[in-house]
Amino acid sequence: MPVADLPEEEERARAVAAIDGWSARELARGEDLVAAERQEVTDRTASHRWYLRFRGAEKDYITVWLTLGQRTLHHEAQFMPAPEENAEAVYRYLLRRNTDLYGMAFCLGPEDAVYLVGRVPAAAVDDDELDRITGSSIHYVDEHFPTAMTLGYPKLYRRRPRRP
């Protein structure tokens, strides 16, 4: 039986440095990333966690959570709360959209809220991969949020007018 090599501490340190450096550069650019926070994780479930807050087009803000584990970087964005109406239609819509997503999928999380989640090897974490993760998260949320919210909250949600 083959034995999996555990990532060395240096590999995790490189991933941490890559995420810290990328988020600092994005904040300095002053465009879509409006806040970044790194937390040390002390419960042994991961080594570090980042909260990256971006401006959205359909949602005011989209927060991408990055969690560095022993071998992988898990990423997620809270997409929408549990639908109040037409739950089956919402879930059907999102499951069908999953086939068009690259490296992530819509999933149910705590309290039946919908999340956009994915995972990449810790060794793959670099500027290009962070651009893909965050850019795709923002794009997929902005693209699918209006339809899902219209189905799940037909009495409350109204799509925003397009910005010029």
Taking 60 as the threshold, does the pLDDT of residue 126 lie above it? yes
The DSSP result for the chain, as a single string, is ---PPPPPHHHHHHHHHHHHHHHHHHHHHTSSEEEEEEEE--SSS-SEEEEEEEE-SSSSEEEEEEEE-SSEEEEEEEEEPPPSS-HHHHHHHHHHHGGG-SS-EEEE-GGG-EEEEEEEEGGG-SHHHHHHHHHHHHHHHHHHHHHHHHHH-TTT--PPPPP-
Residue 161 has pLDDT above 60, yes or no: yes
Task: Identify the band that residue 110 occupies on the pLDDT scale cut at 50, 70 and 90.
Answer: confident
pLDDT of residue 92: 97
List the domains of the chain with CATH numbers.
Answer: 9-152 (3.30.1460.10)
Q: What is the mean pLDDT of residues 99-103?
A: 94
